[in-house]
Amino acid sequence: MDMSETILAAMIGASATTATALFQIFSSFRARSKTDYRPNSRSMLRTILSVLALMAASGVGGYLYAELRAEDTRQDLRQMREDFTAQLQAVASATARIDNRLQAAVAPAASPNSPTAIEQVESVVHVPPCRTQVVTAESVPSACSEADAQRVSLCATLPSNTSIRDVLLFSRGEGTSQNWDSYRVNFDQETDGARFVDKPYEQAVGADHKTVCVNYVHLSSERAHLARLVVQFAPA
């Protein structure tokens, strides 16, 4: 069993006191035995009782002193634990504040390519068949030339403080029921007598908005077409 230093010191002190008392008793008996062959029993009893009382007082005093030192040590330990707990709480609070600041600083800088950061606007226009100026004997509409082609612009409006991520183009004949994804086209790709030409261009609309526009050319004299523009954008 491990003992603290204070209890060990008290035991050593009590042992030293007891040893000294026993040595004094032994010395007193030897001195009396040389001078008096009939020692007084009452005097001897008082001496023994005095030594025993001294030993008991030494033991009690040593125990009380050890307990006092142990209580002081326990109080110091409690104070150290309280100080350490307070420091840990302060560090945890400071760490939480730093984490909140870092999250607030990183949130606006989220990747613009993430699905939640991208928005889109679109524009759809219906273009009727073109009318050629050339009349045939059969009264059957002939294909329109570039001069007779119908030209329209599709524009989508978005906030001015955004950046364009992608421009998607779609063209399909009137009456088609398939999904738009099946009719995606590129610039200058002609499908059924219609195509998108040139490149996208932007125009300012007031102080807070802008438009992204594309040009659409319709050459078909037999059927109308639907042209669709989708602009994907994200905060700049």
Question: Which pLDDT tens digits describe the chain residue by residue (236 residues)?
Answer: 555 666 666 666 666 676 676 667 666 666 666 555 555 566 667 767 776 777 677 767 777 777 777 788 888 888 888 888 888 888 888 888 888 888 877 665 555 455 557 899 999 999 999 887 665 555 555 678 888 889 999 999 999 999 999 999 999 999 888 899 999 999 999 988 999 999 999 999 989 999 999 999 999 988 899 999 999 999 88
pTM: 0.50
pLDDT at 105: 73
Element (H, E) at 150: strand 150-159
pLDDT at 29: 63
Count Cα neighbours of 192 within 13 Å in the Cβ-side half-sphere. Answer: 16
CB 166 within 8 A of CB 214: no
Dihedral Cα 228, 232, 233, 234, nearest 10 deg? 150
pLDDT at 197: 95
- Say if residue 99 is in the same domain as residue 119: no
- Say if residue 62 is in the same domain as residue 142: no
pLDDT at 41: 64
- Say if residue 91 is in the same domain as residue 12: yes
107, 134, 149 - which closes a domain: 107
- Say if residue 48 is in the same domain as residue 153: no
- Say if residue 95 is in the same domain as residue 179: no
- Say if residue 168 is in the same domain as residue 60: no
- Say if residue 101 is in the same domain as residue 185: no
pLDDT at 190: 92
107, 131, 149 - which closes a domain: 107
- Say if residue 149 is in the same domain as residue 206: yes
- Say if residue 122 is in the same domain as residue 82: no
- Say if residue 152 is in the same domain as residue 73: no
pLDDT at 111: 52
Structural tokens at position 143 = 């294909």
**Which structural domain range is residue 144 located in?**
115-235
pLDDT at 201: 95
- Say if residue 226 is in the same domain as residue 185: yes
- Say if residue 231 is in the same domain as residue 121: yes
Q: Closest Cα partner for 196 from 209, 208, 213, 180?
A: 213
**How many domains does the chain fold into?**
2
Neighbours of 156 (CB within 10 A): 20
Q: Using only C-alpha atoms, what is the Rg of the chain?
A: 53
78, 107, 136 - which closes a domain: 107
